Amino acid sequence: MASVAACGGSGKSSAARVDEGRQTFRFDTFGDETKWTDALRMHEVVATVDPTTALAVGLKVDADALPAAVVAGIRGGTISLTDPATTVALLNLNAVVGVKGTVETIGGTDRLTRVGFACALCHSTVDNSFAPGIGKRLDGWPNRDLNVGAIVALSPALDAPTKAVFNSWGPGRYDPRFNQDGLNGPQVIPPAYGLSGVHRITSTGDGEDIAYWNRYVGVTQMGGHGTFSDARTGVNVTNGADDLISAKLPGLQAYQLTLVARLHAPRAIAAPSSPTPTSACTRQAMRWVNRNQLEFPATRRAARPGSIGPRR
């Protein structure tokens, strides 16, 4: 796999490219509002959900994005966590991990007019240092609390059979091929850490590096603007007339390669401020854990021909 320094090519330093990738990972929707707002009308749903409900389905809040007045209001009870208006306010602060909202003041009231999703939605969590579901970001940790299917099933644009499939997945599970092959087979959301030195990270060996998977997810799952095409799997998808993904892939990959593998579940209250040095043997063991604990044995399915998913 390419090293962090080799991920570029535009003359940017490694540090600058990693910083750019961090921003992409946390906040970039690649224009997927076209899918989630224009087609699925998820902004209508999100605007009716209060923070308590949002936390219950696994959404996370970045405590570092909260101003002191908001922190004091939550602790003192003057800011309600059962009011959907608080959710809109948190989105306006860019404080909901992996969710990017556009808030406009209409008739004197803040309204959520567009919503999109970033990589961090599924592949980040928080350390719960402020409250359950609210804390400092843990990038790369899989959000095993997130009930993606139940959230998407709230879309008023989906038919009943599709909603039933999404509702069958449960927390921490997602099928990255259902919208391509129509077969229902969710997998446990994988970590985005510990990928340095892991060659061909997908279960079928597709793609040479993380950028392959990032493009696949960015285009076919998130609905970002760009093109994904793979003759081997027969997947060919183009969204929009512009490309908002390709230029972001080198930085995104560079950042992901800096995310160190962890052996402990992300339910701990706090993560260490810096990674503990590990031996080559330990790093190898952690990579094995990452690859092999992605699905519970009782629910592991046989691979579908041409299926794409994290290496197990």
**Which pLDDT value is given to residue 198?**
81
Closest residue by Cα to residue 172 from 210, 143, 196: 143
| 135 close to 145: Cβ distance less than 8 angstroms | no
Q: What are residue 235's DSSP bridge partners?
A: 230
**Which pLDDT value is given to residue 180?**
93
d(CA 9, CA 20): 14
**Which pLDDT value is given to residue 148?**
98
d(CA 178, CA 158): 14
**Which pLDDT value is given to residue 203?**
59
Give the relative orientation of helices 14-27 and 249-256 as an angle to the nearest 10 degrees: 100
Average pLDDT per run of 10 along the chain, which is 312 residues long?
38 87 98 98 98 98 98 96 98 98 97 98 97 97 98 98 98 95 94 86 74 95 97 94 98 96 57 42 45 36 42 36
Amino acid occupying residue 62: D
At 149, give phi and psi (nearest 5°): -60, -45
**Which pLDDT value is given to residue 308?**
42
Cα angle 89, 94, 95; round to 5: 80
Domain regions of the chain by residue span: 4-299
For 30-88, what is each residue's pLDDT tens digit?
999 999 999 999 999 999 999 999 999 999 999 999 999 999 999 999 999 999 999 99
**Which pLDDT value is given to residue 291?**
45
DSSP codes joined into one string, 151-195 = HHTT-TTS-HHHHHHHHTT-TTEE-TTHHHH-----EEPPPSSS-
Instruction: Give the containing element (helix H, strand E) for 124.
Output: strand 124-126
Length of the chain measured in residues: 312
Q: If DSSP codes are grouped into helix, strand and coil, which group holds residue 242?
A: coil
